[in-house]
Structure 1
């Protein structure tokens, strides 16, 4: 029952996609693609770069259509920039077929229309024929096979007339795909064998691969399994070696189909999985739906019911997402068989009913398409007869027709001129509006940047002022009041020498202790405001000294870890980091009720990270932000001064971690 209704083959689509190549299709090795990339990196903004981008887009498209599309769009923009008319047509064509390969038909139509306009202006009939071929592929993918066959048959003749054998071979391949789709297998087999001979004579590996693939599939559908088996070894070799992921997927699918029809289900599963993997590399959901259905049927026959169900449901999902009616039709029938197998007759009936509904829908579409094709053919025939009649009338009434033709040309010219003027005015208006919006956006961005710079300048000025004032006060305390305390202590000590008995006076002893305590407190305050060790020895030594002072109080044990801090930072950065640590440790002492804290500072080249952790009671960071805590606000302002990033992670009864990351300006 495998593929009881033949699904649309993507081989045609990917095969036609690289028609712009000026030679027969071949498979470049990666080193040759790398060579093109090296040339591209050195290329100037000229036509040569456009041609390199076109060639890269064609070659990369075998394995990565999305990357190929980026090359096509880059070449299209460059062609517009340098006003390279043929380049605009070539790159628009390449973008159009790549968009079609990925299922974006509307975008594809837009690019193909642009390409057609350019090629008509340049009078390039061969390129125009390729655009018509692309439109035939669109009709094919949308199920309008009769119209597609008409396109491809005409393409064959045009390409042969202009001696473009490479493109003619591709058109033959497309026509063969249509013949297989409308079940004219014998004719498809006949043409496939001819195409294979031509491809072999040209030593065109890709054409050989696609010819073998379509030939094997059509032979199997025609029931000629023994003959199909003769072509399997070369097809298997091509599937394993080709860089064209689509050709590999289609070839593995054909090999799996052959194994399935011979009831070798384990081998069929292996090939279908390979086909699916290749289709996934291309993100071709259209073909993935078909491969999942084939895989699901193989799993069903092999007795792997879980694999069967997952594969068939995925096939149905992808088919609906991509509007692949044929795949949805096949998946519904396969799911009906699965549910029947597990005795879920209700689900089996529902999917069988959906299968019949889809069959009716497909039949209606095919009937409508065929009717449309016949109507178009009839209208074309009518037009040809009308042309003959008009020629006869023209011979009889030559003057009248010439006069009317003149008026028509004048009218058409006026209408065209008016249309162009309106278009240009509208385009100019849109460009002006776009420029106004861009200028407004740039102005707003500039204002924001200036405001931010002003905020940074203000913050820097404020913090620099604070540090300057701290330094001044610390110096005044140390040199001024500190000196006074030293003098008082000296005089007070002299007093006990002059009056020995005063040492026994308790008030004297108490006063001496207070003088010593006040002097120590003064030195501690001056040290905290501007540690002398920070200025002389650097940040690491200052932090270690700070930790030692805290640890001596026995209330909090602080561990300092410093990595990569052999080289000193600039003084302003060291001061800021010291103040940040000082503020955070003071907050831990005041609020956290912690017993252990860790300060870790790590420098890697021009990047520095500071982490401070404690095992305290933690706090609600959101609540602290809403209350605008002064301590956190002070730390944040200093981090902003250093253009750093502050992160606070606090959990109640577990502790708090503060992380600061910044770049160092040497």
Structure 2
């Protein structure tokens, strides 16, 4: 792993946010560890599992990995929600990453990514693409897959339009450009783009990182000691405000390296001592060991072997402490692995029980299905026998039905002739007599001298004229004929025209597919029902407009009669008058039904449906 990649990984130690608390989310993103510490240890903003997860991440940031592992590996993952499980794997992967267990870090990062996708957290899903990319710098780990994670990070950062992610993308492009651009101009171009993104995002944590990289540029690529020191010191000032001791000691380490390059070993030793001073010696065993080893080399360069030996021994002591720390972590891991295996065994047992239950249900279902199929076959044989018997019955019933229809047609024909005769008698005899009586009354009215008698006589005369008009109208639309060459719809139009001529009612008739011929017994019966309905409109509705819709569809005839009259109470009318009961009986004989929708002063709608 190259030098700059190692430093890059060190810088990313504190770069993470926790979405379940807005304050923590902001503080983790900007690496404000004092504020995080206040929330985690002095306030009651978190509780239970969230408190454990955030505390573990805080210890990881502080590089107190033993405490971080102790908390994380004690958590019962079977009890975690999908969201907390995502954070758990992310934080555990981060701890393994800091402990150089890159294979385990990769494993948990991938699990966290899957959970983040499940809960729709695309931002943190993409953060992990970059984390996974950095775990793969060791060629023995997944080197062939490494580029795809950076490509995915770049694509998602652009889609999300996240300024901080776009900033880190430019940083990575800058370092990748070193391999193809020996002038290092592309490095500076990408780094300046990162500065542009940071100027919009205003994240001081990221700005401190950028200053460190700018110092590295003037140290390792275009050597300019003054510029390098300028940017390192700018980074130190920012990180001191943020309380990031690990960033400060990294800057002093870089300043020591800057002096070491020029052979200024005394100054390099001074900066190295400042690096150690900023370190937490109880936990920074690896960094302390490395710095002491470099100091030993500096003392050897200054011809001071005794001092070199002292610092080399310190380096070895810290390496021993580091090994002890890793052993403790491995012990914690062993205990956690044991618990994880127990959980896995429990899960497998539950799965086996589930399989047994499903198998039992499956076998029962198969037996039930076989029994059902046997029963269905038996029923089918019985049904075939019944169908054969029913077929004979149907043939007999069909013959009887045909005879019945012929009888009904003959009966309807007789009733029609009788109706026509009654209507004719009403018109020719009763109507004629009433007309003659009306004429005589007109003569008597002119000779009437007594005013009081004349008033009574006038009322009687008007009543007589009204009676004559009703009988005349009744005889006309009762005498409407249904003859062979006049189909149902044409006969209906003629009936409406007759009523319109005699009364102040306007008719509108709408039709669809009305050229279809219907059986004569249905045609006559429906026509008489409509005569009765329209007679009710004339007598009772006080309507000015009537709309009739006639529609043939799917082997049925649908008729809708709507008026804008005074309406009526259906329950009262069905028990008293208007002939609704007789209309329903007629429809039942035609195998039809009727629906009535009416309200007082809201008009009436009557729907007739008859199967053809």
TM range (shorter): 0.3 to 0.5
Higher relative contact order (CA 8 A, sep 6+): 1
Relative to the length of structure 1, the TM-score reads 0.43
Normalising by structure 2, what TM-score? 0.47
Q: Larger C-alpha radius of gyration, 1 or 2? A: 2
